[in-house]
Amino acid sequence: MKLRANDWVEVRSKEEILGTLDKNGRLDGLPFMPQMFRYCGQRFRVYKSAYKTCDTVSGDYAGRSLPDGVHLEIRCDGQAFGGCQAGCLIFWKNAWLKPVDGPVQTQNALPVGKSPLSSTCPESHCVDHGAWMAATTRESTAGETRYSCQATELLGYTTPLRWWDARQYLEAYTSGNQTLPGICRGLWYLFYYYGTLAFSDRWGRPARWLYNRYQAIVGGIPFPRLKGRIPVGQPTPRRDLGLKPGDLVRVKSYDEILTTLNTNLSNRGLSFDAELVPFCGKVFRVSACVERFIDETTGQMRRMKTPAVILEGVTCNAFYSGRRMFCPRSIHLWWREIWLERISDDASEPASRSRPVAACIAAEAVTAARASEPQTACVGGTPGLRQKITEDRVQPGLRAAKV
């Protein structure tokens, strides 16, 4: 059974699913997590084929192959994992699903990024729920709680996928994950990035300038891998807006954000990945304020020291990262509050794409003196998520801007 994006499926019964699992509750190494039982018998639209994903465990961010996998329109609510707020899309094996013609009239599929209001599965599905929940945690030799979920066990059910394997780009199209124009734009950027030496600090300036000039003319996205303005070792600024879910914000221009980053593209330990650039200058609502998350490398729970927020509908599109190009995982992107500005509902006019492009045309001409200007004093530490995190040596999620 080959499932494509937008196909309708029904999650099989608990008994059918249990029949596919080994004694560790896995199929081909993929854990069936306890909260997934609540969806048995419900119908959902396939969000994307999960034929590939990205390695967020070892830290090399390369592509990984996953046979017979899909993402539905639901995310992990974290209730079985200490309240983790990462909100990862759940992986589903085709064997756990069956094709159907469409939704049941009395049921509605959950939109991507949403979770059911209740974290307790129906009683008829929970005969061994307690044991299943217990299997999500273990104690380390130091007595610390370690969590085990699909994200932490990713290397166990996926295999390496080389970026030059052309079959993955064909699969991105045939699975319905990407349109042909989208694939062409992504591959064009990749070829331009390397073919013109745009990645080179020394030789790439003309290519980056030309890229920005062209994008300004067509109203496109500016070159997404410019350098931050603050030398490494100097403190980066912080600003707390006290944002809450539902607040309306505008993402600052790319040029403004670069003034808050060091030359490693980090603000207080949280990197500004290239995948965030397309959202600069646009208006969104705050979806969640992040306080805790599971470190996918160690399984430990980490807590935030510097505020970070998730914006509604803002996820990684994997258009600017060659080794994970077109990854369908749609990881939430995390934002420092200094990268945002609060606006009122009355001021929620559509954000123009031209603003960040125009602001970035002169980005490379800004002198190093800007980086030496007085910076806002730093308060506390700065772990974060979904981009690279350096302070606390935590690297979950999307992380580093490697191509």
150 with 211, same domain?
no
pTM over 0.85: no
Query: Do 282 and 146 reside in the same domain of the chain?
Result: no
Q: Do 99 and 206 lie in a common domain? A: no
Digit-coded pLDDT (tens) for 306-321: 889 999 999 999 999 8
Same domain assignment for residues 252 and 355: yes
Q: Are residues 217 and 132 in the same domain?
A: no
- 210 and 353 together in one domain: yes
Q: Into how many domains does the chain fold?
A: 2
Shared domain for 218 and 115, answered yes or no, is: no
Residue 240: inside a domain: yes
Residue 183 belongs to a domain: yes
What are 151-205's pLDDT values in tens digits? 999 999 999 999 899 999 999 999 999 999 999 999 999 999 999 999 999 999 9
The boundaries of the domain holding residue 133 are 8-160
Residues 145, 196: one domain? no
Q: Of 132, 160, 188, which residue is a domain's last?
A: 160
DSSP 266-324: EETTEE--GGGGGGTT-EEEEEEE--EEE-TTT--EEE-SS-EEEEEEEE---SS-GGG
Is residue 402, in this structure, part of any structural domain at all? no
- Residue 173 belongs to some domain of the structure: no
Residue 137 inside a domain? The answer is yes
Contact by Cβ (8 Å): 401, 273: yes
The total of other beta-carbon atoms located within 10 Å of residue 217's CB is 9
Domain end residue (candidates: 125, 160, 195): 160
Of the candidates 285, 392, 304, the residue with the CA atom closest to the CA atom of residue 85 = 304
Q: In the prediction, which pLDDT does 369 show? A: 35
Residues 89 and 131 in one domain: yes
**Structural domain contains residue 236:** yes
Q: Are residues 203 and 266 in the same domain?
A: yes
pLDDT of residue 57: 94
In order along its 403 residues, the chain shows pLDDT tens digits of 789 999 999 999 999 999 999 988 999 999 999 999 999 999 999 999 999 999 999 877 899 999 999 999 999 999 889 999 999 999 999 999 999 998 875 444 444 444 443 333 443 334 455 555 556 877 666 678 899 999 999 999 999 999 899 999 999 999 999 999 999 999 999 999 999 999 999 999 999 999 999 999 999 999 999 999 999 999 999 999 999 999 999 999 999 999 999 999 999 999 999 999 999 999 999 999 999 999 999 999 999 888 899 999 999 999 998 889 999 999 999 999 999 999 987 765 544 444 444 444 444 443 333 333 333 333 333 333 345 554 433 333 344 333 3
Does 382 fall in a domain?
no
Residue 285 within any structural domain of the chain: yes
193 and 241 both lie in a single domain? yes
Do 263 and 190 fall into the same domain?
yes
